[in-house]
Amino acid sequence: MVVGEAKLNFPGPPARPGGAPDFSLIEVPEPGVLPVPPLDIDAEASEPFAKGMIRVLDDAGNAVGPWADGMGSLDPAHCVQGLIDMLRMRIIDQRLLNAQRQGKSSFYLQCTGEEAIGCAFQRQLSPGDMNFPTYRQQSLLIAADYPLAALMGQIYANDCDPTEGRQLPTMHSSRDYGFFSISGNLGTQYVQAVGWAMANALSRNGQIAAGWIGDGATASNDFHSALLTASVYQPPVILNIVNNQWAISTCTAIAAGASRTYAERARGYGVPALRVDGNDYLAVAAVSRWAVERTRSGLGPVAIEWFTYRTAAHSTSDDPNAYRPRDEAAMWPLGDPVERLKAHLIGRGIWSEQQHAQKQAELFDEIVTTQKEVEQHGTFVNPRPFSPAKIFEGVYAHLPDHLRRQRQEMGY
Ligand X SMILES: Cc1ncc(C[n+]2csc(CCOP(=O)(O)OP(=O)(O)O)c2C)c(N)n1
Interface residues with ligand X (CB under 6 A)?
136, 184-187, 214-217, 220, 242, 244, 246-248, 310, 314
Residues 65-104, one symbol each (x = binds Mg ion by CB under 5 A, - = not), give ----------------------------------------
247 binds Mg ion (CB under 5 A): yes
Based on CB atoms, which residue is closest to ligand X, 234 or 315?
315
220 contact choice in ligand X, Mg ion, none (CB below 5 to 8 Å, kind-dependent) = ligand X
264 binds, among Mg ion, ligand X, none (CB under 5 to 8 A by kind): none
Q: What is the CA radius of gyration of the chain?
A: 22
Q: Which is nearer to ligand X, 277 or 375 (CB)?
A: 277
Under a CB-based contact definition with an 8 Å cutoff, are residues 28 and 53 in contact? yes
Which one of ligand X, Mg ion, none is in contact with 136 (Cβ closer than 5 to 8 A by kind)? ligand X
Q: What is the DSSP string of 64-127?
A: -SHHHHHTSTT-HHHHHHHHHHHHHHHHHHHHHHHHHHTTSSS-----TT-HHHHHHHHTT--T
Closest to Mg ion by CB, 15 vs 150, is 15
Shortest distance (Å) from residue 251 CB to Mg ion: 10
Q: 166-171 long-range contacts, Cβ below 8 Å, gap at least 24?
A: 166/390, 166/391, 166/394, 168/107, 169/105, 169/106, 169/107, 169/108, 170/107, 170/108, 170/109, 170/135, 170/138, 171/135
CB of 73 or CB of 243, closer to ligand X: 243
Q: Which is nearer to ligand X, 196 or 246 (CB)?
A: 246
Q: Min. distance of Cβ 227 from ligand X in angstroms? A: 15
85 binds, among Mg ion, ligand X, none (CB under 5 to 8 A by kind): none
Please give the DSSP secondary-structure letter assigned to residue 290. H
Instruction: Provide, rounded to whole angstroms, the least separation between the CB of residue 173 and ligand X.
Output: 17
Beta bridge partners of 214: 242
Supply φ then ψ for residue 304, to 5 degrees.
Answer: -130, 125
In the complex, least distance from residue 252 CB atom to Mg ion, rounded to whole angstroms: 7
In this chain, which residue has its C-beta nearest to ligand X? Answer: 214
The smaller minimum CB distance to Mg ion, of residues 300 and 337, is found at 337
Choice between 43 and 89, CB closer to ligand X: 89
Q: Which long-range contacts (CB under 8 A, 24 or more apart) does 398-402 make?
A: none
Report the first-to-last Cα separation within the chain, whole angstroms. Answer: 78
CB neighbourhood size of 16 (10 A):
12
Q: How do beta strands 250-251 and 246-247 pair?
A: antiparallel
Cα gap 226→221, rounded to integer Å: 9
Q: How far is CA 398 from CA 105, 387, 410, 411, in A?
A: 33, 20, 19, 19
Identity of the residue, 37 or 214, whose beta carbon is nearer to Mg ion in the bound complex: 214
Q: How far is the CB of 245 from Mg ion (least distance, A)?
A: 7
- CA 87 to chain CA centroid, Å, is 16
Judged by CB, which is closer to ligand X: 187, or 270? 187
Binds 187, which of Mg ion, ligand X, none (CB < 5 to 8 A, cut-off by type)?
ligand X
Exposure string (b/e) for 245-271, b if CB count within 10 Å is 16 or more?
A: bbbeebbbbebbeeeebbbbbbbebbb
CB of 23 to Mg ion, least distance (A): 16
In the list Mg ion, ligand X, none, the entry touching 184 (Cβ below 5 to 8 angstroms by class) is ligand X
Q: Could you tell me the smallest distance in angstroms from the CB atom of residue 85 to ligand X?
A: 19
User: How near is the Cβ of 319 to Mg ion at its closest, in Å?
Assistant: 16
> What dihedral do alpha carbons 43, 46, 48, 51 form, nearest 10°?
-60
User: To the nearest whole angstrom, how small is the minimum distance from the Cβ of residue 272 to ligand X?
Assistant: 22
Pick from 156, 143, 16, 20: nearest CA to 100: 156
Print the binding letters for residues 206-245 with Mg ion: x by CB under 5 A, - otherwise: --------xxx---------------------------x-
- State the binding partner of 279 from Mg ion, ligand X, none, CB within 5 to 8 A by kind: none
Largest CA distance in the chain: 79
**Residues binding Mg ion (CB under 5 A):** 214-216, 244, 247
